[in-house]
Amino acid sequence: MTGLATIIGASGFIGRRLQSRLSLEGWDVFAPAKGDTSLLGRDMGVIFYCAGLTADYDRRPFDAVQAHVTLLSETVRAGRFEQLIYLSSTRLYDGQAAAVLDEHAPLLFDVSDPRRIFDISKALGENVTLTRTQGHGAVARLSNVFDWAPDAPGFLSQWLIEAARTRDLRLESSPHIVRDYIHLDDVVTALIAMAEQSANGVINVASGELVGNGEIANLFLEAGWNVSFSLDVSPLAPPLAAIDRQRALGLAPRPVKEVVRRYLESLNA
């Protein structure tokens, strides 16, 4: 399937890679600039809603709400689309007691915690997508997305980028912290599959495995890097996001250790 795709947030980390892939696969891609409201007056085809704030949401709370909810509401109200895929986060599961959570689990938030503005605004964006699009909305809850492009955000991304510069790595983290990591290319594959298969509801886009920093560090040690951590703490692991719905789309993201190992081999080549 190809057709018209509109990427809101095309200048961001995920949006840029998605635009490149869609163009290569023959889609007609419209990538409006930030603040270009002319998109509301045109047919948008399949909308990939990639706009959002991640690392700096706490410093820019009102911008986070604008990106996660306000522009989305205006887009849905315009109604000129075939499908809308909203990018959310498995961070919405953090702090819950269950070891494994699927897409049907109720979400719990402390509304008095200022740092929960990310989660709550994303949850409202999900609600608008699922309840106000006449059945044409889907939500992709992404786990920790990584890559090694120069501007890739996130702890693991910065670790990989730094590895290309030096063999001695001092990381501001703990070896006991665990996360579900998924590579950017696998996320893009999942988003396109959601469009091609007219997916609906919420789908966790994740690897389905929690991996510790220490496990990843061992790959670096085996490949010839020196790795040390500044912290030695063992926080509670986040809930694991179940990926049964993702598998039903025929998707099998690569394990993070496999991707990292191949990346280190490329640096050693």
Report all structural domains of the chain as residue ranges with CATH numbers, in order of start: 4-144+183-205 (3.40.50.720), 146-178+209-238+254-268 (3.90.25)
Q: How many CB atoms lie within 10 A of CB 15?
A: 21
Q: How many CB atoms lie within 10 A of CB 248?
A: 11
| Residue 118: predicted pLDDT | 96
| Residue 138: predicted pLDDT | 98
> For residue 8, what is the enclosing H or E element?
strand 4-8
| Residue 186: predicted pLDDT | 98
Relative to beta strand 83-89, strand 100-101 is: unpaired
Torsion 255-197-122-48 (CA) sign: positive
244 three-class SS:
helix
DSSP 99: S
CB 160 within 8 A of CB 45: no
| Residue 108: predicted pLDDT | 93
User: In angstroms, how far is CA 266 from the centroid of its own chain?
Assistant: 25
CA distance 144 to 239: 13
Against a cut of 0.95, is the pTM above it? yes
| Residue 8: predicted pLDDT | 97
| Residue 48: predicted pLDDT | 98
| Residue 13: predicted pLDDT | 97
Q: What is the pLDDT of residues 104-119, one digit of tens each?
A: 999 999 999 998 999 9
DSSP 148: -
Question: Per residue of the chain (269 residues), what is the pLDDT tens digit?
Answer: 789 999 999 999 999 999 999 999 999 999 999 889 888 999 999 999 999 998 889 999 999 999 999 999 999 999 999 999 999 999 999 989 899 999 999 999 999 999 899 999 999 999 999 999 999 999 999 999 999 999 999 999 999 999 999 999 999 999 999 999 999 999 999 999 999 999 999 999 999 999 999 999 999 999 999 999 999 999 999 999 999 999 999 999 999 999 999 999 999 99
